[in-house]
């Protein structure tokens, strides 16, 4: 199994152009891809004030508040309260979107998926869970890896694979599991970990 440990310590912060926060990239495919070329991108954003989101046509977004009191998200005129942590919310990146902080700064886990190239399921895990990386279906699919990204979002976590020792993940550390024949891994956490299963997009699915 190919496992990459992605430590939060030293992860560079990119400030937003509107001054409302900073974003730290956790993982992206293809590696090193920019805004115009990624198939999928996972990041953590420190949001310090209200404001609009940059439009991302052709990108599906899944946002999860992982720290703070929550926010109010308005997507194409429809308001959605996200007062609880660790509840993923999906919406089209091309929509007219803005947010209002409910009670101070928050940290958001952001999953961005290029339409027609990648899809994802975001699950918030507590306690113990066996995790199996997604495998490419027979006949292939859209460009992009089959992978699982595990992010420790509330408290530390511990990861163990079939062919290696247990690895400790501090808060906001991540582990990227990939490989067509990868066996199962196990994750334990006293808090919450995000398990993001990334796969080739379903061509029949369309949002935004």
**Which element (helix H / strand E) includes 178?**
strand 174-178
Give CA–CA dist 31/48, Å, rounded: 28
Residues 91 and 41 in one domain: yes
Q: What pLDDT does residue 18 have?
A: 73
Domain count, the chain: 2
Q: pTM for the complete prediction?
A: 0.89
Q: What pLDDT does residue 180 have?
A: 61
Residue 207 in domain: no
End residue of a domain, out of 96, 114, 132: 114
Give CA–CA dist 167/4, Å, rounded: 11
Residue 57 in domain: yes
- Helix, strand and coil percent figures for the chain, each rounded to 5: 0, 55, 45
Residue 205 in domain: no
DSSP string, 62-75: EEEEEESS-EEEEE
Give CA–CA dist 149/196, Å, rounded: 5
Residues 97 and 26 in one domain: yes
Q: Is 36 left (phi over 0), alpha (psi -120 to 50) or beta?
A: alpha
Q: What pLDDT does residue 206 have?
A: 39
**Containing structural domain, residue 188:** 119-199
Is residue 187 within 8 Å of residue 129, measured between CB atoms?
A: yes
Residues 137 and 158 in one domain: yes
Q: Distances from the Cα of 29 to the Cαs of 41, 97, 111, 113, in angstroms? A: 6, 25, 12, 10
pLDDT, block means (10 residues), the chain with 208 residues: 87 86 94 91 96 93 96 96 93 96 96 95 94 59 67 95 88 87 81 92 49
End residue of a domain, out of 114, 147, 175: 114
Total Cβ atoms within 10 A of residue 172: 22
Q: What pLDDT does residue 136 have?
A: 55
Q: What pLDDT does residue 159 have?
A: 95
End residue of a domain, out of 54, 85, 114: 114
CATH of the domain at 135: 2.60.120.10
Q: What pLDDT does residue 96 have?
A: 96
Q: What pLDDT does residue 139 have?
A: 47
Is residue 116 within 8 Å of residue 129, measured between CB atoms?
A: no
Residues 80 and 136 in one domain: no
């Amino acid at each position: 199994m190919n496992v990459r440990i992605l430590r939060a310590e030293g992860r560079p912060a990119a400030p937003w152009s509107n001054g409302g926060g900073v974003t730290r990239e956790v993982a992206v495919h293809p590696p090193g891809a920019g805004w115009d070329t990624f198939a999928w991108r996972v990041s953590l954003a420190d949001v310090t004030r209200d404001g609009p989101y940059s439009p991302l046509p052709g990108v599906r977004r899944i946002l999860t508040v992982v720290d703070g009191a929550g926010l109010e998200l308005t997507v194409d005129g429809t308001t959605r309260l996200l007062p609880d942590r660790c509840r993923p919310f999906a919406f089209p990146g091309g929509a007219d979107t803005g947010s209002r902080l409910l009670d101070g700064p928050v940290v958001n886990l952001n999953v961005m998926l290029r339409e027609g190239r990648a899809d994802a399921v975001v699950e918030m895990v507590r306690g113990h869970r066996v995790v199996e990386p997604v495998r490419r279906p027979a006949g292939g699919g859209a460009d992009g890896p089959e992978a699982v990204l595990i992010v420790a979002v509330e408290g530390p976590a511990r990861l163990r694979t079939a062919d290696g020792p247990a690895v400790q993940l501090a808060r906001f550390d991540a582990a990227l599991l990939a490989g067509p024949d990868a066996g199962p891994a196990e994750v334990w956490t006293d808090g919450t970990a995000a398990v993001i299963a990334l796969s080739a997009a379903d061509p029949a699915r369309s949002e935004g």
